[in-house]
Amino acid sequence: MQAHPLDRSLTEQRNPASERLDEMSAIEIVDLMNGQDALVPAAVHGARGAIAAAVELVVAAFRAGGRLFYIGAGTSGRLGTLDAAECPPTFGTAPEQVQAVIAGGREALVRAIEGAEDRAEDASAALRERGFGPSDVLAGIAACGLTPFVRGGLDFARSLAARTLFITCNPQPDDLPQADVVIAMDVGPEVLTGSTRLKAGTATKLVLNTLTTAAMVRLGKCYGNLMVDLRATNNKLRIRSLRILRQLCGLDEAEAARYLADAGGELKAAILMARRGLSREAAKALLELHDGVLRRALGGHAG
């Protein structure tokens, strides 16, 4: 019988270090997993060139009015959904700018939907429903590299001439789908054979963290290392906004609160109002003139 491609996948191989896993004590399991997890950052670093290329591709799409879509199944789909959900509060993006499509739909976020990842045709339907088009970027996430749902989505995106990314922990050249940028990381076999929510999931999370954070930074969504485009949707984020305003403008708490209120909660505008003595309308116009980049609007260096 001919071997299935999954039999070759690095994510399906047995890890020699954990062959006696069921005989180990709790502390031995903890030490083993910690030691294996320590291998992940080096694997991600090995893909740094591809990750940087993916960042630039996403930045170019955003600047042209396009969007970033993640597509995945199981853990991969949930990680994409998590990253997409964090972008609006952190970077002040519109909810549709970074989206995630998971096999099985929203229900699959909280429980496994058996067989959903095998239906390649569902991917194109889900993307059509969201209006995915040629100006958008599709980032397929598949730890094993073979998920039909993800590959179906990539095929659909390529049929529209949209740009594509592929993120995997199975760097086998013969098994990789076509994509403009492939981020393939060798994290080695999992402690629990085939459980890609472990090292592969950790590697994927690191890549997604880097991809959207670096893209948003390149778009001017921060000033220095401060998130000046955040949305103060809860008390913690409101306190953070006030702290940033005080740090950058030398204000006391009452002054910072007044500027933030006068700016309608828009931190960038509040900073310009305090630093440049502008009205809210003038501050917003200056930001628009400089494509929302605070450093350019201020015309100086980070404080």
Q: Which positions are annotated as active-site residues?
A: 86, 117
Q: Which two tokens stand for residue 249?
A: 């403008």
SS3 for 62-96 is HHCCCCEEEEECHHHHHHHHHHHHHHHHHHCCCCC
**Beta-bridge partners for 184:** 168
Task: Read off the tokens for 234.
Answer: 């809860």
Interatomic CA distance for residues 272 and 249, integer angstroms = 9
Q: Which tokens sit at 105? A: 């739909």
- Phi and psi angles of residue 260, each rounded to the nearest 5 degrees, phi first: -65, -40
Tokens of 197: 């929510």
What is the rounded CA–CA span in Å between residue 79 and residue 96? Answer: 17
Angle value at C-alpha 128, between 122 and 130, nearest 5 degrees? 110
Q: Provide DSSP, 172-210.
A: -GGGPPP-SEEEE----S-SSTT-TTTHHHHHHHHHHHH
